[in-house]
Structures are given as structure tokens and as C-alpha cells.
Structure 1
Amino acid sequence: MSSIVLKTNARIAEIGAEAWDQLAGPDNPFNSYAFLSALEESGCVAAHTGWQPQHLSVETETGEILGVTPAYLKGHSQGEYVFDHAWADAFERAGGSYYPKLQISIPFTPASAPKLLTKPEAELDVKSILIDGLERACEQLNLSSAHATFLGDDEVELFQSHQWLERHDRQYHWHNQGYEHFDDFLAQLASRKRKAIKKERRTVADHNLRIEWLSGSDIQEHHWDAFFAFYMDTGSRKWGRPYLNRNFFSLIGESMGDRIVLMLAHNGTEYVAGTLNLVGQDTLFGRYWGCNQHIPNLHFELCYYQAIDFAIENKLATVEAGAQGEHKIARGYEPVTTRSAHFIANPNFREAVKDYLDEERRYVAKDQELLKEVTPFKKG
């Protein structure tokens, strides 16, 4: 691995679609050039939004790209779903400058995906070089920290070997046990839970809505218009300013429409609700939801039950329904640990964060065991 060059890239276009996707592979749609470049082209990810691209690449002297990682200089902690606001506050009160920091993640996306993207034949060496490069970037840019969030287990272990600190959190995923129909899934639930789900689905069915699954060229601009109105309403109510703009959705519709499933509910006159999903190699990723009228249980139907129907029909192994939400347990989604890794430059602050994370991991593990006891599946 001699004669290599570490570079930072202010735009993903400097690396290029062919080189990026060759390293990212087909498994996860959020790692794709199409998704990440749409964030940049639409202006959702840029210096003025506090997400300044700083993608790291490992290249040979002849320009062959051996590895990349999506990285951003962050001027805040919004849109990450792994919360470090308390760390920032503590560091600032102690006289330090927490921002900017380096964020290794998929912006606005709480879905686990590889972050050290490399050619398989030189995988481990290049991944270590990328981690070293991230640390070097912190040193050269005088950054307080670097944060690699929503990692795979193997990547966490590699970051740990470089003395990064491990952090745990929790999501809720649905797992396909080879079901042929939704009723096969229901048959695995305790009677009371099974009846509750049937009742929720009947409530929605009684409104005589038409549920559409749209992908590829079937998604037209008027579909995106309807969905964007739903997205803006939900985003404005939840966090004040939605992260994505209308152009972003058109861009991903054009560049990766075959990996999108837009689920919309129509009442015979207009669309009244919708949710956006992206399809991976064996996973359906649920992302955004919204509606323009209240229909009881429609959120559960579109975001959870329709996703299960789609996964069963398309023989997908998993549905990831986004961040947080213990209410997902009653609908067959099971608690899963998510993992991240953190590099803290200041040694004293690092020790304080380490102590905090040691305690937090114990809490998450204990809570995880308790939650597994209340899943709706038949016991034994």
C-alpha cells in the first residue's frame, strides 16, 4: 500500500459516479452516488446549511480510487439522529469550540450503512488508511471531533481498534421469517396483538382509500408535489424546518427511481397521505411520512403494514422504519442496537465522553433486554 494519496473532495462529483458506485456497491441505496449527489445538487447539503462536503478518498499516484468515505464539516448537530448536543454544550462551557466537527454519515438518514467504502481486494488496509485520514483531517483543520454514525458491526470494531469510542442506540426493525402472506406474519403474534393489528387495518379499510405503490417512471411530478406537501407539513410540526427541498425529490426520482417505492393514499378525489421508501438489496428503508387529513391508524397502515406487505411480496428480509418509536413494537417491529464511533481530539474531554458512553451502553443493553420481553410474538 505504498505510493498512495489521501484527498479531501469538496463535491462528490470530484470523485464521480462510476468510481463511487463501484466502491459503494448495490446493497444500500443511501450510499449510492445518485442519493448523495442529489443532496448536493439540490443545495440541501452545502456550507450554508451546515453540511459542507469533505469526502475523503484514497487514491494511487495514477489516480485510481481505492476507497472513499462520505464526510461533512458540520456547524451544528442537526439532521444526524445520534445526539451530541450535551457534549457540545459541555465542551463550549469549558472554553472549547465544538464546531465545526467532522461527520461521517449519510445526511438526514438514520439507516445503518457502510461508511468506509473500498475495493474488496485491499479492503482492511484501505479502511484503516481512511480512518487515519479522518483523524489527520481533525488535526489539520483543528476540529474537536469526528463522528461516524450508523455503522455496521465490522466497521465499529475497526474504528475501535483505532481507539475511537463506541456508542449504542436503538431502532425497531421488522424481520421476514419467510412469510408468504401478511396473515403468516400475524399467525406468529399473540392473539390479543393479532386482533389489535387487524382492527387497525380495518379502520383504514373502512375509509375506502386506494393505496398506490409507485416506482420508477410511474412516479410523476404531480406525485412528488403531493408527497412534498405531506413531508413539509410533518417536518414543520416535528422539527420546525424540514431538511429537504422539492428539487431533491425530483432529482432522486430521475436518477434512482427504480430504488424508490412511493406509497400514496387516495380518497377518490385527491391524495391524502404518503410515505417514501427506498429499496436495498434485502431491506426496505422507510423514510418520510405525511398527510393532509387525519384518518385513524393511517400512519401505521402506510408506514408499517404496507411496508411489511411489500417486503413479503418482494421477499425482502428486513424493513427498517426509521429512528425511534417504541410504538413500533406492538406492530411487529423488534428492537435492534445501532452503533456509532467517535473520535475526540482533546484527551480530557475524551475521558469524560468515554465514561458517559460506558454508562449509556449499559443502559441501552438493559433496556434492550426489557423491550425484547414485550414484543407481540408468541412466547416460547
Structure 2
Amino acid sequence: MSLSRPDRDAALSPGLCQSAEGAAGAVRGRADAEAADLPRDAPSAGIADGTGPVLIGQAAHPLPPMPQGALDILAPMHLVLDATGHVSHAGPTMQKLRPDVPMAGQRFLELFELSRPRAVDSMAALLASAGIKLHLRLRDAPRTALKAVLAPLLPDEAGRAGAVVTFSFGISILDGIQTYTLHSGDFAPTDLTIEMLYLIEAKTLAMEASRTLNLRLQGAKIAAEEQAFTDTLTGLKNRRALDHVLARLIRTGQDFSLMHLDLDWFKQVNDGHGHAAGDYVLQHVARLMLDETRAGDTVARIGGDEFVLLFHNLTKRSRIEEIAARLLARLEQPVTFEGAVCRISCSMGTTLSSAYDAPRADQMLADADAALYASKHSGRGRHSFHVPPPG
């Protein structure tokens, strides 16, 4: 629990309070006396003599030295600076930011570039910034942006005063964790970063679970749609899929041919050899039709032994006659099922989208059906084109 300044001052012994006040005065007025002792980082005039903007306020009273192990636990991201502005100790998490180069012994202002406040170029100027949020970044790559606050330490017997600087990543915590492979053990147990890490982990797990669920739902939707458009026995498209494709072809104005195919003598297969034989023959017919059509064409089973074939971008009669002849020749070859020989044929009727000023699905299906029955009436086992009525 933190103490207000009156409570904190009351908790200190009178002698210690006097020492603290004296130390603050020493920081403000010792520039000339320490110039000879601190050649590496002599404070500029006006800052150390108390006439400049020295900002050691109520929240930045010099602190007595703390055991290093306690600092490492309470503030793992800290640096201890000596009176010359050099790092005398780096907290374990802070050192992880530069694991290959010890920070101890390096000058603080050579490790970090301050963006706010800007006019900081000496240890005295750093001490003048005590209690103020510092915005800084590492000078070498990766140039991670950090936030920091400095607290001065009580002068030693020689009057030299160092400081403790504690750091945080601020809103860049995620970048810092990823860049330096940090985890919850690299922060103080009471650091809000721990809570943030837990929240981030929980959010990540929730998002991953949501993504997995969405993928499963999407897969189930695709499977359901596929099932809704697929004939379960043959694996061909069903009537619903045919209507969908046919409507798209008409809507987009593509040329195509529509062939209606009905098996001849299929009832005799069912009656003579059973429905298992009939199912086998239908699956055999489906494979043959897929073999004789292109990948972009549509083959659909729309009834027991009825099929419709859509030949995309194909209205040439001679080419369609070739396909029909091949289908007829292959379908009339005997099919053996469990020792039984099944014989079928087919009748076909075709209409072309180019024969219509404005093709309609129902009209084309009816016209192909009429051409199919013309083939059946002509003796079966043949193909016919729809002949538009005269006029």
C-alpha cells in the first residue's frame, strides 16, 4: 500500500528526513564541487547550482540504496546508474533487451535516445528529470520504444548521487514480448502487464476457438450445400443443381446445348436382377457420362433413369452427334453384376440455346424431352435434335 507524502515523511526518522533534504540540495548545488571528480559527465551550469529548471519534486526525493535482489524482483525492468551516468546494474528483464551485450558499464545516454524531454545530455539533466515520464528508445536495432521514470538515490559518502530508472513497454507491450521472447515470469507479479498477458492469451485462445468453430461451420455448410446439390447414389448433380446451373447459363447469355437422356430396358434390369443390380448399372452409367464429357460440362440425374447433360459453349451439331454416338456405343455394352449380365441402351434428345431468341429453362427442358421421345418412337437407342415448329 502506498503512503501519501505526509504519511511517508512521518514514517521516516527525523535524521533520515534531514538527510533526504540535504541530498536534494546537494544534487542541486554541487556542479562546481564535483567537476573535478566527474570528468565524464560534468553537469552544466544553471542545473546543478539551483538556478536552472531542476525538477526534483515531491515524488522524486532521493532514495536510500535498495538490495539488488529486491530490485530485481520488484522491478525486473530497471537500471541502476552511478553518479557518472553509467549503468552499474541491469535488472534481469532489462538485460534481455540486449542479451549479447552486458548493459553494466555502459553510459545510459549512449544506450538510449530520449525524445521527451529532449534537452537531456548529462547525468545532471537526467536527475533534473526525476519523477517525469521519459520517452526513449534504444539507439541500436531493434530500436524498441520505451517509457521510463527516474528516481535519484541518496549521495554516497563522497557526495556522489546515482539513480534508479524503471522501464515499461507501454502500449508496445505486444511488440516487446514478441521481439524479446518475454513471458509472465519476466515481470513483477503485481505488474499490470501480467494481467494484460493473461487477457491477451485468453483473447488469443478465444479467437482460435472461434476460428476453429467458424472453419467447422464453414466446412459443414459446404458439405451441406454439396449434399443438397448431389445425387447420393451416383455422385452426379441433382435436379436442384441442374436448375441452378441452367439459370446461370441463361442469365449470363452463354451458348450451350441441353441433352436429355433416358435409359432403355432399365426396368427389365430392375425386374430381372433386383434393385441392387439397377443401382450398380446407374453408377456405371454415371461414370461413363463423366468420361465422355468435359470438366466444365454438367451431368445431372433428374429421375430414376433420366439424366440431363449441359454442354457449356458447345452448339455445334456435328460435335454433339459424336458425343451422343460414343455414349450410345458404350452404354450398349453389357454390364456384369454378381454374375448376371445386364443390357441397356439409351434414347437422347438435344436442343440448342442458339435456337431461341430468349432461352427459357422450362421451354428448353420440354423441347429436349420432346426430342427424346421422338428418338424412342423411332425405335430407341438413338439421338435426335429438337426441331422447332415451322413459322
Q: Which has the larger radius of gyration?
A: 2
TM-score, normalization by structure 1: 0.20
The structure carrying a bigger strand percent of its residues is 1
Q: Which has the higher contact order (CA 8 A, sep 6+)?
A: 1
TM-score, normalization by structure 2: 0.20
